Structure 1
């Protein structure tokens, strides 16, 4: 799908430091950055005590450590859940907790969150204090079951709460209505890190470290894990999240990160000393997620917890294999989905505004990625469903800008009470369960609701660029400046440019990637470029001699040499 190209307006950037290049000043200013935002030092992190419920949660956990209660961390089966689990487990042990363990539900046996069934497993493990990470805000029945068994429950989550919240002993979630914590887009791992910071302070006031003869832990040691989970969960990189991510990236570049992260970067063929945020998002995160998608997320957690480099490399290799298997599954499912939409695609009027897909042999662990791929192709909100057993199907939803997916599901639920068995999530991603027999009814209700909430023009994809670069700006030093000016990510997008070029050379490499040599219109400069996963029906084509290209400036490193390369996001023949 060719997206409409919209260039950002020029804005006043005089408030930003003049030590930055004019191009970078304009890029920062167009993203709403202030001079203060350019300072990503840890001293600028928001204070933990502004997060509602965090003081009470820290007191409960401190009491649990003091009383040597059995503490169980209840995680989630994605990268955010795995990193949250690791942060809490490592921090608690550094603070002297002697009875602490973790449990992550298998998505195929227990589904998402603190369900009564997984609480029963926790009971079998002797849990006395449950700490949920990256889940729990919608676990009303699960919390009730835990309380009935005599457990204390502390919820840490970042997902949007429903109308009713669980009766937990403490809830730490910046998206609660009464929470004044400014970073509403913090990831689950960020919430977990903040709770551990508050716990460290609480134990300090009790003279715990002096009495036990242990050093007060430096929690900055965990920021590589926090950065990984934050980027992998694709939360908005507001100022606070950028500080957390940048601090974690600095630890990795300095060689002071967990062996498991180093090993995952190695199998992904990334250089730790030159890592950027996108390496977490596109290389490490998917390999970590593969464990929870196809097997047990415990493998991902143990990889991050591992202290031995050789063992970490072995586990990272297993995760790499699972990720390759995941890619194959996803490719097959995507082909099936596209075939089912082919007839509709021929007639744009018949293509649903809200696309719902279901095939009973699809894999539960991959439907989220499938929904994302189909959403990118058609620029429509997509929900992909897989069989969940016992007559139920489980869906994973991905939205487009302008449509809040969780609110949409809330609207459908209000109109069709009981049809959606359960749901939850964010603006851009959500999950839900239905009875298979209700799929057709849901499909219609979903499309109708999307048509009410969106306007036709919102179904056209838009690429927002930072304009056209001059030949003098297309340099290796500029590519390095932009690369190091991050972290870039969700809601703080990496600089994207567009321009018109002469296509000098074009050839396919690696099955479906287009390698190009482009010449600027004025003929001053020849540039290497690469476009991944191109439409093989269009490319290569020797008759195409000019194109409008949307691209990022990139540094290509090969055999010790560094050259400038354009990473092509869209190429439109002219």
Structure 2
């Protein structure tokens, strides 16, 4: 699909510091950056005292530590869950907790969150205090089961709550009613980090460290993990999240990160000294996620907790192998999904506005990625389902701008009571469970609801461009400037540019990547460019000699040499 190119308008940037280069000042102004947000320093983080439930949760955990209670962290099986779990385990150990362990539900056996079944496992471990991370806000039955066992429950989460909240001893979630914490897009790992800082302060007030002869820990040493989880969970990079991510990236660049993260960067062939946020998003995050998708996320957690580089490298290699297996599964499933939609290409009007796909032999762990790929191809909200056993199918949903997926599922649920067994999630991503026989009914109800919520023009993909760069701006120095001006990410988009070029050379490298040599219209500058995962039935094509190209500036490193390279997002033949 060729996306519509929309150029961002020029805006007033006079409020930003004059020491910033003019191009960067304009890019920041277009993204709503305030003068105070140009310097991403930790002292600029939002204060924790506006996060509802934080003080109570810290007191409960401090009480448990003083009474030497058994504390169990219950995490989620994705990168945010793994990093949240790791932050809590490491912080609690640093603060002197003597009985702390973690439990990550196997997604295939227990599903998502603090279920009654997982509570039974926790009870078998003699847990006395449960702390959920990146889950729990919808665990009504699970919390009730824990209370029946006599456990205390502290919930930390960032997902949107339903109409009813679980009856936990404390709930920390910026999206719960009445919470004044300004960053509603903070990741689960960010919430966990804030809780650990509040706990550190609570223990300090109780003279905990001095009484035990231990040093008060520097929790800033955990910010590399916080940054990884924040980027990997694709939350909006508001200012607070950008500060957390930038602090973590600085630790990695300076060689002060966890050995597990270093090992994951090694297998991904990324240079830690030059890491940017997208490396966490596209290289480290997927390898960490692969454990939860295909196996046990405990492997990912243990990699982050590891203190020995040799063991970390072994685990990173295993995660890399799982990620390769995940890729192969994904490719096969994507081909099957596209084939099932292929006949609809003959008549675009027949293509559902809300695409729902189900195949019995699809792997539960990969349906989220599949939904994302199909969404990108057709620019429509997609839900992919896989068989979950016990007469149920589980779906993973990905949305497009303008459609709040969780709210849409709630609408479908209200109109068809009993059709959806359970659901939850965010605006852009959600999960749900149906009875196997309900797929056709759901697909129709879902498509109808999407048609009500969207307008036809919203089904056309858009690429927001920061305009055309002059030949004098197409330089390695400008690419370096933009690289260092991040972190870029969700809702703080890395600059895209567009322009008209002559295609001098084109060839396929790797499996399906298009390597190009381009020339600017005036013929003064020659540029290397690469477009990933192109359609092989279209490229290479010697008849295409001129194109409008949408691209990012990138710094290509090869054997210690750095050169400018355009990362092509779209080629529109002229």
TM-score range, shorter chain: over 0.9
CA deviation profile, 1:22-71 (whole Å, cap 9, x unmatched)? 11100000000011110101001111111000000000000000000000
- TM-superposed deviation, 1:175: 0.2
* 1:296 corresponding residue in structure 2: 296
TM-score of the superposition, structure 2-length normalised?
1.00
- 1:383-422 superposed matches below 5 A: 383-422=383-422
1:360 is matched with 360
Give 1:569's aligned residue. Answer: 569
- Which residue is 2:179 aligned to? 179
- Aligned match of 1:13: 13
Distance 1:559 1:141 in 2: 56
Give 5+ residue unaligned stretches, structure 1.
Answer: none
Q: CA deviation at 1:496?
A: 0.5
Taking the aligned partners of 2:555 and 2:346, their CA distance within structure 1 comes to 40
SS across alignment from 1:270: coil
Q: 1:514 offset after TM fit, Å?
A: 0.4
Give 1:342's aligned residue: 342
Q: How far did 1:511 drift?
A: 1.9
The CA distance in 2 between the partners of 1:343 and 1:440, in whole Å, is 19
Listed as ranges, the matches of 1:477-516 within 5 Å are: 477-516=477-516
Q: CA deviation at 1:146?
A: 0.1
SS for the counterpart of 2:464 is strand
Write the distance in 1 (CA, Å) between the matches of 2:47 and 2:219: 15
Report what 2:65 is aligned to: 65
1:20 deviates by 1.2
Structure 1 residues 438-469: Cα deviation after superposition (integer angstroms, max 9, x where no partner): 10000000000000000000000000010000
3-state secondary structure, aligned to 2:486:
coil
**Deviation (angstroms), 1:563:** 0.6
- Specify the alignment match of 2:465 in structure 1: 465
Structure 1 runs of 4+ aligned residues shifted over 4 Å read none
**Corresponding residue for 1:130?**
130
In structure 2, stretches of 5+ residues that fail to align are none
2-side partners of 1:336 and 1:260: how far apart? 35
Give the SS at the match of 2:365: helix
Give the secondary-structure state (helix, strand or coil) at the position aligned to 2:171: strand
User: What number of residue pairs does the alignment pair up?
Assistant: 574
* Alignment pair present for 1:221 and 2:207: no
| Alpha-carbon separation, structure 2, partners of 1:346 and 1:358 | 22
| CA distance in 2: counterparts of 1:471 and 1:434, whole angstroms | 55
What is the SS of the residue equivalent to 2:441? helix
Across the aligned residues of Structure 1 and Structure 2, the Cα RMSD in angstroms comes to 0.4
1:427 aligns with 2:422: no
TM-score (norm 1): 1.00
Which residue does 1:114 correspond to in 2?
114
Deviation (angstroms), 1:119:
0.3
What does 1:518-529 correspond to in 2, within 5 Å? Answer: 518-529=518-529
Distance 1:531 1:17 in 2: 35
Aligned to 1:455: 455
Q: Secondary structure at the match of 1:105?
A: coil
CA displacement 1:526-546 (0-9 Å, x = unmatched): 100000001112110101010
CA distance in 1, matches of 2:498, 2:514: 18
Equivalent residues in 2 for 1:160-239 (5 A)? 160-239=160-239
Alignment of 1:373-388 (within 5 A): 373-388=373-388
